[in-house]
Amino acid sequence: MNETSKKTIIDVKGLNAFYGDRQILSDISLEIIENEIMVIMGHSGSGKSTLLRHVLGLNRPVSGSIKILDQEITTLDHYALYELRKKIGVAFQNGAMFSSMNLLENVELPLHEHTRLDKNTIRIMARLKLELMDLGDNESLMPSELSGGMLKRAGLARAVVMDPNILFFDEPSAGLDPVTSAELDDLILQLRDAMNMTIVVVTHELESAFKIADRITVIDKGKQIMTGNKEEIKDSDDPRIINMLQRRAANETINADDYLNKLTRN
Ligand code: ATP
Ligand code: MG
């Protein structure tokens, strides 16, 4: 991939974010390029979801600039932000399905909200996305009847039902068994290739990150430690990154070097 000829889709500069008077993110600067998969990693509470919320315009930063598709979203009015969000799909950390609607109705929702398409067309479009996520046979199930992996895929189906240019996925593999989690990784890769999307994934899971990422950003206590490709992350001499990479290897009681080689082998 020749990255120099690709467009910057998301451009964050000097982002500082607070909840009340507590600073959560310090001076984050991040460029995300067309058609890449950027993975954001970091310990629980490091500010990953907060970063997503700011990039989506759900929270306004105290200072800094956030451009999405060349629009500065920190100063965008409500209507312009609403229009921009049609080009962005989001699969939230908790799935966020409406419990009173079945799977198909949940996936149809963004089309009812954002388009004037007729009911039948909406139904067909939602079914296509359910098929794509291998949920075609489950459309009448209620969210409470879905497994963890199905809920994640349902959230993904709803996130891409408008064919967005950009997809945000917060913790795709959290709480899933390794096989289901690996299937979800494959789906994310397929979406990028088949739908030509630019994808931002937040995850704790090293294995998943190293499978899907073109580049990885590591955040620790609200600070951006490093942004780089897999090799650069693997070769980092920052103790916090070494610690992040080796902790898992230590748990697995396997040789750390073998483990790192396995992660970066593609
Ligand atoms: P996890 O991996 O557990 O999802 P995270 O990296 O996504 O963690 P955030 O949810 O962004 O972390 O939270 C960052 C910090 O901000 C945490 O200390 C959290 O307690 C705090 N925080 C998150 N949401 C709010 C809120 N709405 N109001 C106040 N503080 C918040
Ligand atoms: Mg989070």
Average pLDDT for 55-68:
93
- Residue 202 tokens, joined: 């937040």
Specify the pLDDT at position 261: 66
Average pLDDT for 175-183:
84
Q: How far is the CA of 47 from the centre of ligand 1 (A)?
A: 6
CA 251 to chain centre: 26
CA distance 226 to 45: 17
Count of residues making up the chain: 266
Check if the beta carbon of residue 41 is closer than 8 Å to that of residue 217.
yes
Q: How far is the CA of 141 from the centre of ligand 1 (A)?
A: 32
Specify the pLDDT at position 204: 84
Does residue 120 belong to any structural domain of this protein? no
Does residue 256 belong to any structural domain of this protein? yes
Higher pLDDT, 227 or 248: 227
Per-residue pLDDT band for 149 (boundaries 50, 70, 90) equals confident
**Residue carrying structure tokens 């103790």:** 239
55-59, 177-181, 215-219 — most confident range = 215-219
Tally of domains in the chain: 1
Per-residue pLDDT band for 258 (boundaries 50, 70, 90) equals low
What is the pTM for the complete model shown?
0.89
Q: How far is the CA of 43 from the centre of ligand 2 (A)?
A: 9
pLDDT at 253 over 60: no
- What is the CB < 6 Å shell around ligand 1? 19, 24, 42, 44-50
Nearest to 152 by CA among 110, 199, 92: 92
Which residues span the domain enclosing 82?
A: 3-87+164-264
pLDDT at 250 over 70: no
Does residue 115 belong to any structural domain of this protein? no
Does residue 76 belong to any structural domain of this protein? yes
Burial-class residue 77 by CB neighbours within 10 Å (0-12, 13-18, 19+): exposed
Quick one: which atom of ligand 1 is closest to the CA of 46? Answer: 6
- Read off the CATH number of the domain in which 82 is found: 3.40.50.300
Does residue 141 belong to any structural domain of this protein? no
Does residue 14 belong to any structural domain of this protein? yes
Quick one: which atom of ligand 1 is closest to the CA of 171? Answer: 4
Q: How far is the CA of 19 from the centre of ligand 2 (A)?
A: 15
Burial-class residue 180 by CB neighbours within 10 Å (0-12, 13-18, 19+): middle
In the chain, DSSP assigns E strands to 8-19, 22-33, 37-41, 63-68, 71-72, 88-91, 166-170, 198-202, 215-220, 223-229
